[in-house]
A and B are shown apart, each in its own frame.
Chain A
Amino acid sequence: MVPLPLALPFAELEVGQQFYWQLGRLQLHGQVFLSSWVVIGALLALVVIGTRRMERDPRGVQNLLEFLWTYIRDLAREQIGEKAYRDWLPFIGTLFLFIFVCNWGGALIPWKIIELPSGELGAPTADINTTVAMALLVSLSYFYAGLSRKGLRYFEYYVEPTPIMLPFKIIEDFTKPLSLSFRLFGNILADELVVGVLAFLVPVIVPLPAMFLGLFTSAIQALIFATLAANYIGEAVHEEHH
């Protein structure tokens, strides 16, 4: 062990340590699930409070929810297209809301107060498992969207506009989830590390700009993930007009 120069409470850094749970022979990252449950709980509480009494003249939380709904609908409609966006609106919206609340929750909730035996609580999206899981879901859903809408004609997409595109399009199927997951994971983890390192070195004021930048990045990353997911689905269901 390397002795730390300073040992301040709330300002220790742990990277790559996990709080393992055993489930049979499987191993789980407990801290990711704990924080994701908090995030999902917050999201569901917001939604339940906002939709309890729906009125034609919206008031209070209903306003916020309707704003979010129209925002997500516009995003999905723009990327997927008028015909198919309705089927995918909940998926895109859930990705956006979940990632957004995860990112902001990771930055805003003082997780460090809660001591875990090992590892530390943080944004669930700072764990590679979460982002890969969502990226793979996106891959599955755009394949499903393309196949269910166009059948085997979906694979024409691979040779359009010319068959030379075939290898690139196949490579794309691998790079899409890879870039999606690593972009989100890298951004959120880096943000947490920057804030952590700054807080570790100078615990007052200095980390604040980095924290605000982190909030900004977090929101942008959620938007990017949702937009790209919608874009991939839109690409898969897009009908060529011959």
Chain B
Amino acid sequence: MTSWLLLATADAVTGAATGSPEGGLFDLDATLPLMAVQVVLLTFILNALFFRPVGQAVEEREGYVTTSRAEAKQKLAQAERLAADLSEQLREARQDVQNLIVEAEQEADKLYREALAAAQAESIAVREQARSQIESEKQQALASLKAEADRLGALIVDRLLAA
């Protein structure tokens, strides 16, 4: 550990003896301002070559990603709206179909009932008519029988009286 310290001091001493400036760890000289100038120059060069173009590229991409995402979100919302619309329409159509079926069933039922009622009424009417016809014929027959009987009776009476 001490060897290099001694070495450094020894070299510094010999350096001073030979006329070159002494060294040392804390040897501040014109290196400082020149290095500062160098760093400032490097800042400007890197700004032109690195920070500006790369920043532009990164920010352009960030902008692109943001707008793409916004667009995609908008499209997604639109698609969802459409899907909702369509499913609503589908639901309505199903409802309509259901209504139609129910209506048709009711219609058919009604028709059937009407037909049935008509047929029954007709059959009743026909029966009634037949009955009344039979009744009237019976009356007629009874009447004619009665007339015949009356005539025969009168005839018998006439004959007997005449005899």
Contacts and interface: CB of A to CB of B under 8 A. Distances in A.
A94 B46 CA distance: 7
15 contacts: A2-B10, A4-B3, A13-B7, A15-B7, A29-B29, A40-B42, A44-B45, A51-B53, A56-B61, A65-B54, A69-B55, A90-B46, A94-B43, A124-B35, A137-B36
A163 B71 CA distance: 55
A54 interface: yes
The 6 A-B pairs of least Cβ separation, nearest first, read A26-B30, A129-B31, A90-B47, A133-B36, A133-B35, A94-B43
Given A15-B25, A137-B39, A197-B1, A28 B7 contact: no
B8 A15 contact: yes
Nearest to A29: B31
Nearest to A136: B36
A18 B23 contact: yes
A50 B149 CA distance: 142
Interface residues of B, number: 48
B105 to A, nearest CB: 64
Q: Is the interface on chain A under 10, 10 to 19, 20 to 34, or 35 or more residues? A: 35 or more
Given A1-B7, A26-B29, A189-B25, A94 B39 contact: yes
A14 B58 CA distance: 46
Contacts of A162: none
A16 B25 contact: yes
Contacts of B20: 20, 118
Given A2-B7, A14-B11, A27-B29, A70 B58 contact: yes
Interface of A: 1-2, 4-5, 13-18, 20, 23, 26-29, 32-33, 36, 40, 43-44, 47-48, 50-51, 54, 56, 58, 62, 65-66, 69-70, 73, 89-91, 93-95, 97-98, 118-119, 124, 127-130, 132-134, 136-137, 189, 197
Contacts, number: 155
A199 to B, nearest CB: 12
Nearest to B2: A2
Contact of B53 (A4, A13, A54, A133): A54
Contacts of B30: 23, 26-28
A93 B8 contact: no
Interface in B1-44: 1, 3-8, 10-12, 14-15, 20-21, 23-36, 38-40, 42-44
B60 A16 contact: no
B4 A15 contact: yes
B57 interface: yes
Contacts of B55: 69, 73, 89
A95 B28 CA distance: 20
A119 B25 contact: no
A91 B24 CA distance: 30
A124 B34 CA distance: 13
A239 to B, nearest CB: 24
A129 B26 CA distance: 8
B50 interface: yes
A117 to B, nearest CB: 10
Nearest to B6: A2
B14 to A, nearest CB: 8
Contacts of B24: 16
Contacts of B44: 90
B50 A65 contact: yes
